[in-house]
Amino acid sequence: MTTNGRPASSSEFAKPPRWAMAVLPLLLRSEEAETVTGDLIEEYRDTVYPASGALRADIWFIRQVAGFAWRTAAGWGLLLAAFISGRFLLDTFAPPASYFARSFFTTWSSVLLYLLAGAWAARKTGHARTGILAAVASHAIGWIVNAAITAAVFVGVIRQEPAMLTLFRETGGWGEQWFLPLMLLPFVLVLGSIGGVVGRSISGRARA
């Protein structure tokens, strides 16, 4: 049996997904990248691949890399979810006369958060590109958590209240929940890059 063109028995030469191998060092300090990557490859080739086959071994490796990414971005992602979901809950249950103040706060606090997430991650690892990864991962975590909260509130409350349902649709509805995160992605990439460069320079100065 072969998966990805590899025989299932050739574990000694099996290779995890290339993109995951490229991402992993960005989530680690330079002095740790070689040893941690070696540990994961050894476990992949020696235990997971022979026991589970190529596909499951690849999934295992990706899960490990995702675990490192989660540790880099979880705090920022959950903070972002608190901003977005907090705004959504306030707008739903206590709609203001003007949305300007709330919009101003959530927009600029999110901008600051992406910059800080990027800078913090890059400072920790010493790689500027980690800033982009951290900002994107925070963005994904924040919006996934927010989508879950929105769905729960929609099913539990909004759907049964015609006035709330109208307000939900008028303020963007599901389109805002699903498409806004995609539309914001280019800005997140830029902010993560800026944060990454700042964090890298702080890290470089601290090491010097």
Partner 1 sequence: MADVLGAFEQSVLLAIVRLKDDAYGRAILKEVKLRLERDVAAGAVHATLVRLEERGLLTSRLGPGTDIRGGRARRFYRLEPAGRRALNDAREAIDNLWQGLKWPLKGHA
Where does this chain bind partner 1 (CB under 8 A)? 12, 32, 34-43, 45-47, 63-64, 67-68, 70-71
CA distance 76 to 121: 10
Residue 199 CB, nearest approach to partner 1 (Å): 18
Of 95, 92, 87, 190, nearest in space to 143 by CA: 87
- Kindly tell me which of 85 and 125 has the beta carbon lying closer to partner 1: 125
- Kindly tell me which of 40 and 84 has the beta carbon lying closer to partner 1: 40
Residue 118 CB, nearest approach to partner 1 (Å): 20
Give, in degrees to the nearest 5, the angle at Cα 184 between 183 and 187. Answer: 130
- Kindly tell me which of 42 and 161 has the beta carbon lying closer to partner 1: 42
Of 46, 44, 72, nearest in space to 58 by CA: 44
Give, as one character, the DSSP assignment of residue 6: E
Residue 31 CB, nearest approach to partner 1 (Å): 9
Residue 64 CB, nearest approach to partner 1 (Å): 5
- Kindly tell me which of 16 and 181 has the beta carbon lying closer to partner 1: 16
- Kindly tell me which of 41 and 145 has the beta carbon lying closer to partner 1: 41
Can you tell me whether residue 7 is helix, strand or coil? Answer: strand
Say if residues 131 and 193 touch (Cβ distance below 8 Å): yes
Of 111, 207, 82, nearest in space to 119 by CA: 111
Residue 95: both structure tokens together: 């709609």
Residue 103 CB, nearest approach to partner 1 (Å): 36
